[in-house]
């Protein structure tokens, strides 16, 4: 017996299994134009599958090094027999990115994601909508006129409001809609770096409304305050929405004050309470739910204290300058002192000390015949102040509250369900979606591409990777709960909801070994321990076969064909 080759399988078999079971490769091949010359070794769908495997490999290898990533990987089982690492060269991948741009990245992703979500049985009842930005270093060319015809959207890297806190860098804006059932992305659209959230949401709502008669759409659209404005109101009345009312809205402030002044609070849990008001705003009948949070109150206290210190510092500087001035009239001096406090939010004037000064009308030594009683009087003032405790507490109370607006009838969603749906907005799209795509290990340094259309296609590849990851994580957790099984987390505690990233780390050390036995080649998979076998079996028969496990086991997890 002789070992011919050792190839690392690790968690890549699970990724390939999920991609296969969801039919992603076939979906992409059915949409993207095939090569007319037939000279390519891998199809567009296989190229995309390879890029997803690279992205979810979490090895810090950029897309340009995909062949190196696959050099020690078992491509015959991850892709198909006959596929080699060299087939994933930058020229082939670049061509596929161009094909995606030709077809339309937004359209491509929506079709593939909808098919995958339906296969996985993902609920589309609650859909979260948000945007983020991706910053780029270096120079990126703008799209030429010919490229604008070639590129449907002609996006460009531009300066804009940076959610990465990097206003010095050009950026692109990514719009994403994900399900609250597992954070599965359904809509992904790339826009130019200076695109506004308000404009993006307005266009998205219009598309949703226009498609109501064509397809089954998510019944509840959830987004932050940028969704709610006068410009989107006309379309919002045609769909169910849950959103946060903007802080600058005067009606929002009135509702909070009314809730604080009246005893209309209902207990949500130990740290939260809410009050409900029926309003008609922008000609839409709504429920406005004022939510008060103890955690938000602690944050508000810190924010207000910081604001008080800043205002006090500014006041002392103004008083110092005022003390240097001399006024001809005491009333004018006092008026100037009072004027300093007119715009103060947290401080109030308590007293004004004045000082009188007499001086001769002319400068220099007085003349011998000058009447010493003919002098000019001037006045200076020194105001005292203190913190307005009532104003301070009122601001803390107001900042401890936020207002949710919804037109969903109470009989469909209770007040508590509306609040929970909004809170899940951050848990899904922020924590699962955007944080995942911005992970430094995910397609590290991939934005070497200088062509905007290819960058847009690469962002679509990243979104497809998120699609696979989120569906796989959702499936793994549901299977653990269904089978009443647990896994050890990072601190060795048994949990039923581990992250897929951690499960991938647990799968490290699994190899496919090619043996030469009596002149015959034989492949075996080695290095599978008990917890690794559990993870593999959670993904069904396809994964069990790929990792060469026995089909007979103490528990059955089904065929895995639909990742349910």
pLDDT digits (tens, 9 = 90+) for 318-354: 999 998 998 988 999 999 999 999 989 999 999 999 8
Going by the DSSP 8-state scheme, the letter that residue 158 receives in this structure is: B
Can you point out the beta strands (E) in 456-499?
Answer: 487-488, 494-495
Length of the chain equals 564
Return the minimum-mean-pLDDT range out of 459-468, 512-521, 536-545.
Answer: 512-521
pLDDT digits (tens, 9 = 90+) for 498-520: 999 999 999 999 999 888 776 77
C-alpha–C-alpha distance, residues 557 and 564, integer Å: 10
With beta carbons less than 8 A apart as the criterion, state whether 169 and 111 touch.
no
Return the minimum-mean-pLDDT range out of 283-287, 339-343, 357-361, 464-468.
Answer: 357-361
C-alpha–C-alpha distance, residues 475 and 469, integer Å: 10
Label residue 175 by pLDDT band (50, 70, 90). Answer: confident
With beta carbons less than 8 A apart as the criterion, state whether 404 and 257 touch.
no
pLDDT higher than threshold 90 for residue 67: no
Phi, psi of 125 (to 5 degrees): -70, -45
Cα angle 144, 148, 149 (rounded to 5 degrees) comes to 125
With beta carbons less than 8 A apart as the criterion, state whether 199 and 175 touch.
no
Label residue 390 by pLDDT band (50, 70, 90). Answer: very high
Q: What is the mean pLDDT of residues 63-89?
A: 86
pLDDT score, position 559: 42
pLDDT higher than threshold 90 for residue 165: no
pLDDT, mean over the chain: 83
Burial string for 462-476 (b: 16+ CB within 10 Å, else e) reads bbbbbbbbbbbbbbb
pLDDT higher than threshold 70 for residue 161: no
User: What's CA 514's distance to the chain center, in Å?
Assistant: 43
Task: Tell which wins on pLDDT, 441 or 387.
Answer: 387
pLDDT score, position 37: 44
Can you point out the beta strands (E) in 156-262?
Answer: 170-179, 185-192, 220-223, 240-244
Q: What is the mean pLDDT of residues 63-79?
A: 83
Cα dihedral across residues 283, 221, 188, 136: positive or negative = positive
Structure tokens, 22: 């969801």
pLDDT score, position 439: 67
pLDDT higher than threshold 50 for residue 384: yes
Helix (H, G, I), strand (E, B) or coil at 401: strand
Label residue 75 by pLDDT band (50, 70, 90). Answer: very high
Label residue 555 by pLDDT band (50, 70, 90). Answer: low
Closest of 256, 340, 332, 331 to residue 300, by C-alpha: 256
pLDDT score, position 36: 47
Query: What percent of the chain stands above pLDDT 90?
Result: 48
Q: What is the mean pLDDT of residues 155-167?
A: 66
pLDDT higher than threshold 60 for residue 64: no
Helix (H) or strand (E) holding 514: strand 511-517
C-alpha–C-alpha distance, residues 219 and 126, integer Å: 7
C-alpha–C-alpha distance, residues 62 and 73, integer Å: 16
Burial string for 357-382 (b: 16+ CB within 10 Å, else e) reads eeeeeeeeeeeeeeeeeeeeebbbbe
pLDDT higher than threshold 70 for residue 243: yes
Return the minimum-mean-pLDDT range out of 37-51, 98-112, 323-337, 546-560.
Answer: 546-560
Going across the sheet that includes 220-223, the strands are 185-192, 170-179, 126-136, 220-223, 240-244, 401-406, 284-293, 272-281, 266-269
Place of tokens 């593939």: 112
Label residue 374 by pLDDT band (50, 70, 90). Answer: low
pLDDT score, position 149: 43
pLDDT higher than threshold 60 for residue 147: no
Range with the largest mean pLDDT of 27-41, 188-202, 485-499: 485-499
Structure tokens, 331: 């009333």
Task: Tell which wins on pLDDT, 235 or 430.
Answer: 235
Structure tokens, 155: 């996006």
C-alpha–C-alpha distance, residues 478 and 229, integer Å: 38
With beta carbons less than 8 A apart as the criterion, state whether 341 and 381 touch.
no
DSSP 498-563: --HHHHHHHTTT-EEEEEEETTEEEEEEE---HHHHHHHHTTHHHHHHHTT--S--SS-----TT-
Nearest 10 degrees: CA dihedral of 96, 99, 101, 107?
-110
Going across the sheet that includes 2-8, the strands are 2-8, 511-517, 520-526
Structure tokens, 559: 């065929």
Can you point out the beta strands (E) in 315-374?
Answer: 347-360
Helix (H) or strand (E) holding 384: strand 375-387
């Amino acid at each position: 017996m002789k070992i011919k080759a050792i190839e690392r399988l690790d968690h890549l078999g699970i990724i390939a299994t999920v991609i296969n079971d969801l039919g992603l490769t076939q979906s992409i091949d059915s949409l993207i134009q095939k090569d007319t010359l037939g000279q390519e070794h891998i199809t567009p769908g296989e190229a995309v599958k390879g890029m997803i495997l690279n992205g979810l490999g979490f090895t810090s290898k950029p897309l340009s090094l995909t062949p190196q990533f696959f050099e020690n990987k078992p491509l015959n089982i991850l892709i198909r027999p006959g596929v080699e690492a060299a087939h994933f060269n930058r020229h082939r991948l670049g061509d596929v990115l161009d094909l995606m741009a030709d077809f339309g990245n937004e359209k491509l992703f929506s079709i593939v994601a909808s098919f995958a979500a339906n296969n996985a049985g993902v609920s589309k009842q609650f859909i979260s909508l948000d945007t983020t930005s991706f910053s780029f270093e270096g120079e990126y060319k703008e799209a030429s006129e010919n490229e604008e015809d070639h590129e449907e959207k002609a996006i460009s890297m531009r300066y804009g409001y940076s959610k990465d806190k990097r206003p010095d860098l050009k950026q692109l804006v990514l719009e994403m809609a994900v399900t609250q059932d597992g954070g599965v992305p359904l809509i992904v659209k790339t826009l130019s770096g200076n695109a506004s959230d308000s404009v993006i949401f307005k266009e998205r709502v219009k598309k949703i409304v226009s498609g109501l008669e064509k397809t089954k759409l998510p019944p509840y659209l959830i987004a932050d305050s940028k969704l709610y404005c006068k410009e989107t109101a006309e379309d919002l009345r045609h769909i169910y929405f849950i959103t946060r009312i903007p802080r600058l809205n005067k009606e929002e402030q009135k509702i909070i004050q009314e809730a604080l002044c009246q005893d209309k609070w209902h207990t949500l849990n130990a740290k939260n309470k809410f009050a409900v008001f029926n309003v008609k705003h922008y000609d839409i009948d709504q429920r406005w739910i004022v939510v008060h949070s103890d955690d938000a109150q602690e944050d508000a206290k810190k924010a207000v204290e910081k604001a008080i210190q800043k205002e006090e510092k500014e006041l002392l500087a103004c008083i110092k300058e005022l003390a240097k001035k001399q006024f001809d009239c005491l009333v004018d001096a006092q008026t100037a002192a009072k004027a300093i406090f007119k715009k103060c939010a947290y401080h109030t004037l308590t007293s004004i000390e004045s000082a009188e000064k007499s001086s001769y009308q002319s400068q220099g030594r007085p003349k011998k015949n000058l009447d010493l009683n003919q002098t000019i009087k001037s006045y200076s003032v020194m105001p005292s102040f203190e913190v307005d405790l009532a104003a301070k507490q009122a601001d803390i109370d107001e900042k401890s509250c936020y207002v949710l607006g919804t037109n969903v009838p109470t009989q469909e969603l209770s007040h508590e369900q509306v609040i929970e749906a909004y809170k899940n907005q951050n848990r899904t799209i922020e924590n699962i979606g955007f944080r995942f795509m911005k992970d430094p290990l995910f397609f590290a340094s991939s934005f070497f591409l200088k062509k905007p259309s290819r960058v847009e296609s690469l962002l679509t590849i990243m979104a497809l990777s998120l699609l696979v990851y989120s569906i796989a994580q959702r499936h793994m957790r549901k299977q653990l709960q269904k089978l009443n099984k647990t896994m050890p987390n990072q601190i060795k505690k048994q949990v039923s909801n581990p992250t897929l990233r951690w499960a991938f780390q647990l799968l490290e050390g699994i190899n496919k070994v090619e043996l030469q036995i009596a002149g015959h080649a034989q492949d075996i998979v080695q290095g599978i321990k008990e917890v690794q076998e559990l993870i593999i079996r959670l993904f069904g028969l396809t994964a069990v076969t790929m990792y060469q496990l026995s089909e007979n086991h103490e528990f059955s997890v089904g065929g895995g064909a639909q990742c349910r």
